[in-house]
A and B are shown apart, each in its own frame.
Chain A
Amino acid sequence: MNASKRDLLKRGFFSATLAAGLIWAAALPAQAADANAAPDQLIRQLSLETLDAVKSDKAIQAGDIQKIINLVDTKVMPHVNFQRMTSSAVGRFWRQATPVQQQRLQEEFKTLLVRTYAGALTQVKDQTIALKPLRASADDTEVVVKTEIRGKGDPIQLDYRLEKSSGLWKIYDVNVLGIWLADQYRNSFAQEIGANGIDGLIKTLTDKNQKAAAGNGKA
């Protein structure tokens, strides 16, 4: 796929690995971050603390996937509404899923993303993060916070959709290089559900995750 890959690359897709990692990394020391603050302040704090955490953690740089996954689970998830992200990706089929199926979908989707991005985290070296001024009024309950990661080559666009729910800001979608993740998976999920049903999708995700776990070996 010669030029197609070049094409994606030319537009900086290569760096997606990194960017993707920072999504999760962004919230590693999240306990310290204040979810009551303005959404851009939350992202600012998470971004800064992440870079510090990754740059100063030899185990993460060395590729300790399990360590990163544990950190993400305990620290990131409090700031992410993963149910909303999953339901958005699953689309109209979400309502047809039983609560158990919804739970399984959420878990497997999360594992899929976290495991992959954890690998990208090991690539963080001398990048800096830049934040765009927030354009929202004080009473907005849904905002987009835009950032970019700067290193070699094109900056990596990394935007967050946040919602305010009972006074707390939570991330519910992430945009890497112009691609919103929930949108990115909608067709893929619909295709799988169309062919094999919701259980089919759960099985496919589970298989992929197990394969990745086996491949990593380190975990």
Chain B
Amino acid sequence: MRARLGPVLRAFALLCLALMLSACASLRGPGAPGQKLDPWESWNRKVFNFNDAIDEHVLVPVATAYRDIVPAPVRLSIDNFFGNVNDAWSTINLILQGRLKAGLEQGMRFAVNTVLGFGGLLDISTEVGLEKKSEDLGKTFGRWGMGTGAYIVWPIFGPSSVRDSLALPWDYAASPSLVFKEGSAKVAIYSLQTINARANFLRASQMLEGIALDKYTFYRDAYLQRRGSFSDDDEYEVLTPEKPQPPAENPQAGH
């Protein structure tokens, strides 16, 4: 199996490289003058439709069944577990971005949840006020000054950009499947990860269907805008009601 996959993969890698190089000129991100955001639109649309069909006929039914059958506490633990591994990856990326304080905080999150939260099954960190802050390698490249570049839709992997495609292998490797050697275990972990993510996204995707005129354009613009924007590490002030208002004192109390 592996021997046969080899040449295919190599050809694929070459194709990717060619795409990257041809797009390097466009690595300035959206908004740069005279730049086409989506030079491969007609191809991207075909891949998007292919992905969408898989989503509709396979992923959504599976994710819906998962949501309906698996008890909520179990799903929450699974979600926390993947989130915890994600926190470790965020820590590394925040440090790479030179945001040491935020990196330390995410590192604390990971440590607390791993040790006190049974390997990440419980999210104790959020309870004690350590807010989650997700970062990935694509964002790190962005911090280093790389624009998102042209939009690319990968089969199965979905929306991406030239910049994020360069980071994609690492961002996908940052998964609990990393510790398994066997292919079948890796596949099982990735499947669960995907189903968990899709199940979480069920409501939001319905909402997006409701407000998108053209789904392809909507997802593309949301992706590029979101991936091209960066937040800072300024402190927030948590808002609490200034004076106690009788009905608002207890949020659960009805009138």
Determine whether B97 belongs to the interface, using a CB cutoff of 8 Å to chain A.
Answer: no
Whether the pair B207, A154 counts as a contact (CB closer than 8 A) is no
Determine whether B115 belongs to the interface, using a CB cutoff of 8 Å to chain A.
Answer: no
Whether the pair B241, A48 counts as a contact (CB closer than 8 A) is yes
Interface of chain A residues 155 through 193 with chain B (CB within 8 A): 155, 157, 177-180, 183-189, 191-192
Q: Which residues of A contact B248 (CB under 8 A)?
A: 52, 55-56
Q: Which residues of A contact B212 (CB under 8 A)?
A: 188
Given A17-B203, A113-B211, A150-B131, A44 and B239 touching (CB < 8 A)? yes
Determine whether B105 belongs to the interface, using a CB cutoff of 8 Å to chain A.
Answer: no
Selected from A17, A178, A205, A212, the residue in CB contact (under 8 A) with B226 is A178
* Chain A nearest Cβ from B208, distance in angstroms: 8
Whether the pair A10, B225 counts as a contact (CB closer than 8 A) is no
Given A10-B134, A183-B225, A16 and B214 touching (CB < 8 A)? no
* Chain A nearest Cβ from B28, distance in angstroms: 17
Q: Which residues of A contact B223 (CB under 8 A)?
A: 8
Whether the pair B51, A208 counts as a contact (CB closer than 8 A) is no
Determine whether A84 belongs to the interface, using a CB cutoff of 8 Å to chain B.
Answer: no
Give how many B residues have a beta carbon under 8 Å from the other chain's beta carbons.
65
Give the interface residue-count category, chain A. Answer: 35 or more
* Chain A nearest Cβ from B97, distance in angstroms: 16
Given A16-B204, A128-B239, A132-B234, A177 and B226 touching (CB < 8 A)? yes
Report the nearest B residue to A215, measured CB to CB.
B210
Q: Which residues of B contact A120 (CB under 8 A)?
A: 207
Determine whether A39 belongs to the interface, using a CB cutoff of 8 Å to chain B.
Answer: no
CA gap between A1 and B60 in the complex, in Å: 9
* Chain A nearest Cβ from B164, distance in angstroms: 9
Report the nearest B residue to A152, measured CB to CB.
B126
Report the nearest B residue to A124, measured CB to CB.
B251
Q: Which residues of A contact B158 (CB under 8 A)?
A: 1-7
* Chain B nearest Cβ from A8, distance in angstroms: 7
Q: Which residues of A contact B153 (CB under 8 A)?
A: 4
Interface of chain B residues 241 through 255 with chain A (CB within 8 A): 241-242, 245, 247-248, 251-255
Whether the pair A131, B221 counts as a contact (CB closer than 8 A) is no
Determine whether A20 belongs to the interface, using a CB cutoff of 8 Å to chain B.
Answer: yes
Selected from B52, B83, B207, B237, the residue in CB contact (under 8 A) with A116 is B207
CA gap between A48 and B124 in the complex, in Å: 26
Complex interface bits, A100-123 against B, C-beta within 8 A gives 1, otherwise 0: 000000000000110110011001
Which of A5, A10, A20 has its CB near the most chain B CB atoms (within 10 A)? A5
* Chain A nearest Cβ from B254, distance in angstroms: 5
Determine whether B200 belongs to the interface, using a CB cutoff of 8 Å to chain A.
Answer: yes
Given A56-B254, A178-B225, A178-B229, A6 and B239 touching (CB < 8 A)? no
* Chain A nearest Cβ from B21, distance in angstroms: 24
Whether the pair A5, B198 counts as a contact (CB closer than 8 A) is yes
Selected from B83, B159, B204, B210, the residue in CB contact (under 8 A) with A14 is B204
Q: Which residues of A contact B220 (CB under 8 A)?
A: 187
Selected from A8, A52, A177, the residue in CB contact (under 8 A) with B241 is A52
CA gap between A24 and B111 in the complex, in Å: 37
Q: Which residues of B contact A132 (CB under 8 A)?
A: 234-237
Determine whether A34 belongs to the interface, using a CB cutoff of 8 Å to chain B.
Answer: no
Whether the pair A10, B236 counts as a contact (CB closer than 8 A) is no
Determine whether A129 belongs to the interface, using a CB cutoff of 8 Å to chain B.
Answer: yes
Given A1-B51, A6-B198, A130 and B239 touching (CB < 8 A)? yes
Given contacts A6-B158, A14-B204, A179-B225, 11 further A-B contacts (CB under 8 A): A1-B59, A6-B198, A7-B157, A13-B226, A120-B207, A131-B236, A132-B236, A154-B134, A157-B231, A184-B225, A191-B217
6 residue pairs A–B, Cβ–Cβ below 8 Å: A6-B193, A6-B198, A13-B222, A113-B211, A153-B132, A178-B231
Which B residues fall within an 8 A CB radius of A?
Answer: 48, 51-52, 54-55, 59, 83, 86, 123, 126, 131-134, 136, 153-154, 156-160, 193-194, 197-198, 200-201, 203-205, 207, 210-214, 217-223, 225-226, 229, 231, 234-242, 245, 247-248, 251-255
